[in-house]
Structure 1
């Protein structure tokens, strides 16, 4: 039987129209595992008539997996423009978060030299700076995965390889509270400035 998104912890996010710009939204090579790569809408813009508008706030470059019949997301990594958006992400993900899940957030406005461990909303988040790279490349570096090892794999296979490594990841990052993170975060960058119109 073919695994569908409805059989996973992604079902509600899909029904709410939050899973956007996907380059992967299907079963992976591992039996019972479903993968998603794309963006998660965290806050929608007000709709006028039937126009489709991009979300006001999103978590981009998401890589995540869930397993059939399990209520929680097993692994998630993504980009956030602001540390403060972790609250929105946790609200949107809600009961799909688990203390056993492995969650990695690459945040644009934290100190480039720091890595944090945040206990929040019943889950543990690894909070890392993003160094002018992509979430995928940052993950490969963090998890010590050589790009050459993944060359022959398709998107689903690469997602499996990253998820397998991430699910066993552990590191002594500096503990931080949500309030401390908000207090010490930098200004939120306008990602659209200096872009040609």
Structure 2
């Protein structure tokens, strides 16, 4: 048995999230090259709709396009990037993931409804901070590559797990000196949600 086979999703912080049915639309969910780590690309549900009978309903809202690495030894998520359609959901993200985030971790959220010229550092509690940037008509993957200074050609020939590990390693080493604001001030300053389909070609 190889080292890769010994790390299972349930051995990491993703286990409880999976049990709560929060892991959705996974495009990658497997061990990463570094021993003891597990990667995930997909969505993490933050709130659920009321269910009627056996009807399966999508979550009310989620962190979308998530890129994360989970550490089996510490049961933490040391690096995560994702998209929030509404900045106000940052509080939910902090609460849902509270047991798995660490002060030395890197947590980047791209939000739909903040000023295009603004970037924020927002305390989530217990020494954990989120880095918040605007996003419109792009993807978390593309913006994370840009933020971390990774050329897409550098990762073109890598496997999915190798790409995720490399990009998140670079992101974790990226300096982000964004102005600090409170969550409440961020909510007060946020703009209306933009229609994410408005400018897409038909």
Select the residue among 108, 115, 122 that pairs with 1:111.
115
Alignment of 1:171-182 (within 5 A): 171-182=176-187
Select the residue among 123, 131, 135 that pairs with 1:126.
131
Secondary structure of 1:63's aligned partner = strand
Secondary structure of 2:55's aligned partner = coil
Deviation at 1:121, TM superposition (A): 2.3
Select the residue among 64, 71, 78 that pairs with 2:68.
64
TM-score, structure 1 normalization: 0.94
- Write the distance in 1 (CA, Å) between the matches of 2:36 and 2:190: 39
Contact 1:106 1:127 survives alignment (8 Å): yes
TM-score, structure 2 normalization: 0.92
Secondary structure of 1:23's aligned partner = strand
In the comparison of the two structures, how many residue pairs are matched? 196
Select the residue among 126, 147, 159 that pairs with 1:142.
147
Residues 61 and 84 (structure 1), Cα distance of their counterparts in 2 relative to 1, 3 Å cut: same
- Write the distance in 2 (CA, Å) between the matches of 1:176 and 1:103: 15
Aligned equivalent of 1:2: 6
Select the residue among 156, 165, 177 that pairs with 1:160.
165
Contact 1:72 1:101 survives alignment (8 Å): no
* Structure 2 unpaired stretches of 5+: none
Deviation at 1:171, TM superposition (A): 2.1
Contact 1:8 1:71 survives alignment (8 Å): yes
Secondary structure of 1:42's aligned partner = strand
Is the aligned partner of 1:86 residue 2:90? Answer: yes
Deviation at 1:191, TM superposition (A): 4.0
Contact 2:131 2:176 survives alignment (8 Å): no
Deviation at 1:132, TM superposition (A): 1.6
- Write the distance in 1 (CA, Å) between the matches of 2:29 and 2:139: 19
Secondary structure of 1:84's aligned partner = helix
Residues 194 and 46 (structure 1), Cα distance of their counterparts in 2 relative to 1, 3 Å cut: farther
Aligned equivalent of 1:188: 193
Summarize deviations over 1:61-94 as a string: whole Å, max 9, x none: 0000011121321100000011100011111112
Deviation at 1:32, TM superposition (A): 1.1
Is the aligned partner of 1:41 residue 2:50? Answer: no
Secondary structure of 1:50's aligned partner = coil
